[in-house]
Homo-oligomer: A and B are copies of this chain.
Amino acid sequence: MSHKKSYTLAEIAKRLDLKLVGDESCEIHALGTLSNAVSGQLSFLSNSSYIDQLADCQASAVILSEELAGRWSGNALIAANPYVAFAHATALFAPGNEVDAGVHPSALVAEDVQLDPSATVAAGAIIESGTRIAASAFIGPGCFVGADCIIGEASRLTANVTLYHGTVLGRQVVIHSGSVIGADGFGYAFDGKQSVKIHQLGAVRIGDEVEIGAGTTIDRGAIDDTVIGQGVKIDNQVQIGHNCHIGEHSVICGCVAIAGSARIGKYCVLGGASGVVGHLNIADGVQVSAMSLVDREITEPGVYSSGTGFMRTSQWKRSTVRFRQLDEMARKLKELEKRTDTKSTD
């Protein structure tokens, strides 16, 4: 794996469609943060609170905005949105997928699998009957792809991903290691003595350009499907229950737990380790802060939270005792107000 790459600043400016100020022939072979970059590296300033770091920055060039360009005397790439430009720059230095297309001899692909010749099935992967794999798709080492799945063009499963039967991935989907898509939803009917399994007959459908982190689980639907909208980004160790719908371009941070049949709108952001109880609707454009529990419907965009905030345990213990007494306190307060009101009007 040799992914060392090098570009002149002019090449980078051209590829990212940015204005170049300074030495066009300057050779860039890596990216670096403002504080750690060394010569030969390209850095970026996207947040003006880091502007003081420009003074000592050793990078050979910096991506920054027109407004702040005057603060940097070195080579510069001028961007309307330096953070987005930086994101595009990272793609230039990312290691490519250097495995040759085709099926590794140790992989096991069922006879009737429809496999595009430009797709790759890596070592030890297992693909079951009826599955279709489109052009330029990559099935990583040790992956299991169950029967009747559809893997869209240029989608990529890294090592040790599991797709249950009937999972459908759109184009350019990325799924990281350890994730499990399409396991049975958690459904039982209690008959008074024990839990009777509700076999999960739906599937999981994942839209184009979705990325799913490591160790994430998305369950198949009970009868209808679980649906992840186009452009959704899901971090590690997220759990999405059966029959959920996640709206397009929403962002689900690490360790979020979404119970079954929840419907999350478009362009939402669920903060790390937050939770959503089942059968709730959340409007478009909602942001939920870290470790909050959404236990009611949200009909309007905005920022929402739960939790007590953080403190020394000694203080916290006193507050939690009082939390249990809150209703009593509120009623006493009301009575006191009445009593003093009466007196005031004496």
A97 to B217 CA separation, bound complex (whole angstroms): 22
- Interface with B: A19-27, A67-75, A330-338, which one? A330-338
A211 to B79 CA separation, bound complex (whole angstroms): 44
Interface: A191 (CB within 8 A): yes
Which A residues from 193 to 250 make CB contacts under 8 A with B?
A: 193-201, 209, 211, 213-217, 219, 222-224, 231, 233, 235-237, 239, 241, 249
Check A32/B223 contact, CB under 8 A, given A95-B165, A177-B180, A180-B178.
Answer: yes
Complex: chain B residue closest to A251, CB-CB: B195
Could you tell me if A177 and B162 are in contact, using CB atoms closer than 8 angstroms?
yes
Residues on B with beta carbons closer than 8 Å to the beta carbon of A291: 257, 275, 293
A231 to B144 CA separation, bound complex (whole angstroms): 28
Residues on B with beta carbons closer than 8 Å to the beta carbon of A304: 310-313, 316
A81 interface neighbour in B189, B199, B257, B293, Cβ under 8 Å: B189
| A281 CB, nearest partner CB in chain B, Å | 14
Interface: A114 (CB within 8 A): no
Residues on B with beta carbons closer than 8 Å to the beta carbon of A170: none
| A260 CB, nearest partner CB in chain B, Å | 9
A332 to B330 CA separation, bound complex (whole angstroms): 10
Check A158/B183 contact, CB under 8 A, given A201-B94, A233-B195, A273-B275.
Answer: yes
Interface: A88 (CB within 8 A): yes
Complex: chain B residue closest to A288, CB-CB: B310
Could you tell me if A336 and B340 are in contact, using CB atoms closer than 8 angstroms?
yes
| A42 CB, nearest partner CB in chain B, Å | 10
Q: List 11 A-B contacts (CB under 8 A).
A: A1-B148, A87-B187, A87-B189, A141-B144, A194-B249, A255-B275, A289-B313, A291-B293, A307-B307, A309-B324, A319-B323
Shortest beta-carbon contacts, A-B, top 7: A309-B320, A94-B199, A1-B147, A90-B199, A322-B326, A318-B327, A87-B189
